[in-house]
Amino acid sequence: MKAMSALATQPFDSSEDWVLPYRGQVGMASLIIAEAAIFTIFVVAYLYYIGKSLTGPTPSQVLETPIFFTICLLSSSLTIHFAGKFLERGRLGAFLGAWLLTIVLGGLFMYGTASEWYRLIYEHGLTISTNLFGTTYYSLVGLHAFHVTAGLVMLSIVLIFAVAGRVGRDQSARINVLSLYWHFVDAVWVVVFTVVYIIGR
Amino acid sequence: MQIPRIRDWIILSAIQMSTSLFWPTTAAAAESGGPSTVLTNIFAPETTPAKSIFDLSMFVLAITGVIFVVVGTLLVYSLVKFRGTAANDGREPAQVYGSVQIGLAWTVIPILIVVVLFIASARVIHAVQDAPKPESALEVTVIGHQFWWEYRYPALGIVTANELHIPVSDPAHPRPTFLKLLSADTDHSFWIPQLNGKTDLIPNHPNSMWMDPHRPGIFLGQCAQYCGTQHAKMLLRVSVDGPEDFDTWVRAQQQPAIQDQNVIAGKRIFETTACINCHAVSGTVANGRFGPDLTHLMSRVTIASGAAENTTENLRLWIQDPEAIKPGSLMPAMKVSDTDLDALVRYMESLR
Amino acid sequence: MSSDAMAVQNAQIAGRPWVETLHDWVTTVDHKRIGILYVLYALTFLVIAGFEAVIIRIQLMFPHNHFVSPQVFNRLFTMHGTTMIFFVAMPILFGFANYLVPLMIGARDMAFPRLNAFSFWLTALGGVLLYFSFVGGNGLYGAGNAPDAGWWAYAPLTSKAFSPGSSSDYWTIALLVSGFGSVGTGINIIATILCMRCPGMRLTRMPLFAWLSLTMSGLILLAVTPLTAAQLMLAVDRYLGGHFFDTQAGGSATLWMHFFWIFGHPEVYVLVIPAFAFVSEIIPVFSRKPIFGYPAMVVATVCIAFVSMSVWAHHMFTIGMNSYANSFFAITTMAVGIPTGIKIFNWIGTMWGGRIQFKTPMLFCIAFLFQFLIAGLTGVIQAAAPLDWQLGLSYFVVAHFHYVIVGGILFALFGAFYYWYPKVTGRMMSESLGKLHFWLFVLGFHMTFDVMHIPGLLGMPRRIYTYEPGRGWDTLNLIVSIGAFIQGVAVLVFVANLIISYWKGAKAGNDPWDAWTLEWSVSSPPPAYNFASIPRVASRRPLWDLKHPEDPDSRYE
- CB-based contact (8 Å) between C530 and chain A? no
Alpha carbon distance B214, A185 (integer Å):
62
CATH classification of the domain holding B11: 1.10.287
CATH classification of the domain holding B291: 2.60.40.420
Residue numbers in B near C351 (CB within 8 A): 78-79, 82
Closest CA to C423 of C508, C546, C363: C508
CATH classification of the domain holding C291: 1.20.210.10
Residue numbers in C near B117 (CB within 8 A): 334, 380, 383-384
Distance set, CA C460 to CA B302, C178, C254, C441, C469 (Å) = 20, 33, 24, 25, 11
- Tens place of pLDDT for every residue, chain B, 352 residues? 344 444 444 444 444 444 444 444 444 444 444 334 567 999 999 999 999 999 999 999 999 999 999 999 999 999 999 998 877 667 899 999 999 999 999 999 999 999 999 999 999 999 999 999 999 999 999 999 999 999 999 999 999 999 999 999 998 989 999 999 999 999 999 999 999 999 999 999 999 999 999 999 999 999 999 999 999 999 999 999 999 999 999 999 999 999 999 999 999 999 999 999 999 999 999 999 999 999 999 999 999 999 999 999 999 999 999 999 999 999 999 999 999 999 999 999 999 9
What is the extent of the structural domain holding C358?
Answer: 28-555
The total number of structural domains that make up chain C:
1
| Nearest chain B residue (CA) to C251 | B204
Residue numbers in B near C372 (CB within 8 A): none
- CB-based contact (8 Å) between C135 and chain A? no
C509 three-class SS: coil
When CB atoms are compared, the residue of B43, B94, B228 closest to C162 is B228
Residues B17 and B125 in one domain: yes
Residue numbers in C near B228 (CB within 8 A): 74, 157, 162
CA dihedral angle for residue C354, residue C355, residue C358, residue C359, rounded to 10 degrees: -100
Number of B–C residue contacts, CB under 8 Å? 330
Chain C contact probe: residue of A9, A30, A174 with most C CBs at under 10 A = A30
- CB-based contact (8 Å) between B137 and chain C? no
When CB atoms are compared, the residue of B27, B52, B220 closest to C386 is B52
- CB-based contact (8 Å) between B112 and chain C? no
Chains in contact with A, counting 3 or more C-beta pairs less than 8 Å apart as contact: C
pLDDT of residue B86: 76
Q: What is the pLDDT of residues B135-187, one digit of tens each?
A: 999 999 999 999 999 999 999 999 999 999 999 999 898 999 999 999 999 99
- CB-based contact (8 Å) between B336 and chain C? no
C17 occurs within a structural domain: no
pLDDT of residue C137: 58
C210 occurs within a structural domain: yes
Give one DSSP letter per residue of C361-428, joined into a string.
Answer: HHHHHHHHHHHHHHHHHHHHHHHSHHHHHHHTTBHHHHHHHHIIIIIIIIHHHHHHHHHHHHHHHSBP
Residues B51 and B25 in one domain: yes
C12 occurs within a structural domain: no
The alpha-carbon gap from C535 to the nearest alpha carbon of chain A, in Å, equals 6
B232 occurs within a structural domain: yes
Task: Assess contact for B231 and B223: CB atoms under 8 A.
Answer: yes
pTM of the model: 0.93
> Residue A2: pLDDT above 70?
no
| Nearest chain C residue (CA) to B40 | C459
Closest CA to C311 of C267, C369, C341: C267
Chain C contact probe: residue of B125, B185, B301, B330 with most C CBs at under 10 A = B125
pLDDT of residue B90: 74
Whether residues C335 and B203 touch (CB distance < 8 A) is answered with no
Q: What is the pLDDT of residues C469-496, one digit of tens each?
A: 989 999 999 999 999 999 999 999 999 9
Residue type for position C474: D
When CB atoms are compared, the residue of C221, C233, C511 closest to A34 is C221
Helices (H), A10-66: 23-48, 59-62
Alpha carbon distance C196, A21 (integer Å):
9
Backbone angles phi, psi at C522, to 5 degrees: -105, 170
Going from N- to C-terminal start, the domains of chain A cover: 24-199
Q: Do chains B and A touch (3 or more CB pairs under 8 A)?
A: no
The alpha-carbon gap from C195 to the nearest alpha carbon of chain A, in Å, equals 5
Give one DSSP letter per residue of B143-159, joined into a string.
Answer: EEETTEEEEEETTTTEE
Task: Assess contact for A167 and A92: CB atoms under 8 A.
Answer: yes
B218 occurs within a structural domain: yes
Residues B142 and B124 in one domain: no
B249 occurs within a structural domain: no
Residue numbers in B near C369 (CB within 8 A): 75
- Tens place of pLDDT for every residue, chain C, 557 residues? 455 555 555 555 567 899 999 999 999 999 999 999 999 999 999 999 999 999 999 999 999 999 999 999 999 999 999 999 999 999 999 999 999 999 999 999 999 999 999 999 999 999 999 999 988 756 544 445 899 999 999 999 999 999 988 889 999 999 999 999 999 999 999 999 999 999 999 999 999 999 999 999 999 999 999 999 999 999 999 999 999 999 999 999 999 999 999 999 999 999 999 999 999 999 999 999 999 999 999 999 999 999 999 999 999 999 999 999 999 999 999 999 999 999 999 999 999 999 999 999 999 999 999 999 999 999 999 999 999 999 999 999 999 999 999 999 999 999 999 999 999 999 999 999 999 999 999 999 999 999 999 999 999 999 999 999 989 999 999 999 999 999 999 999 999 999 999 999 999 999 999 999 999 999 999 999 999 999 999 999 999 999 999 989 988 87
The alpha-carbon gap from B6 to the nearest alpha carbon of chain C, in Å, equals 12
pLDDT of residue C4: 57
Q: Which residues are registered as beta bridge partners of B173?
A: B170
Chains in contact with B, counting 3 or more C-beta pairs less than 8 Å apart as contact: C
Rg value, chain B, Cα: 28
The total number of structural domains that make up chain B:
3
Alpha carbon distance B328, C219 (integer Å):
40
- CB-based contact (8 Å) between C454 and chain B? yes
* CATH code for residues A24-199: 1.20.120.80
Q: Taking a contact as any Cβ pair under 8 Å apart, which residues of chain B between 254 and 283 contact chain C?
A: none
Q: Taking a contact as any Cβ pair under 8 Å apart, which residues of chain C between 351 and 370 contact chain B?
A: 351-359, 366-367, 369-370
- CB-based contact (8 Å) between C521 and chain A? yes
Task: Assess contact for C294 and C208: CB atoms under 8 A.
Answer: yes
Helices (H), C241-359: 253-287, 294-308, 323-351
C16 occurs within a structural domain: no
What is the extent of the structural domain holding B33?
Answer: 5-84+98-129
Alpha carbon distance A188, A40 (integer Å):
9
Sheet holding B163-167, edge to edge: B163-167, B235-241, B217-222
Whether residues B187 and C392 touch (CB distance < 8 A) is answered with no
Task: Assess contact for C484 and C476: CB atoms under 8 A.
Answer: no
- CB-based contact (8 Å) between B339 and chain C? no
Tell me the ipTM for this assembly: 0.94
Q: Which residues, in sequence order, are CB contacts of B231 under 8 Å at separation 6+?
A: B147, B223, B225, C463, C464
C441 occurs within a structural domain: yes
B92 occurs within a structural domain: no
Residue numbers in A near C423 (CB within 8 A): none
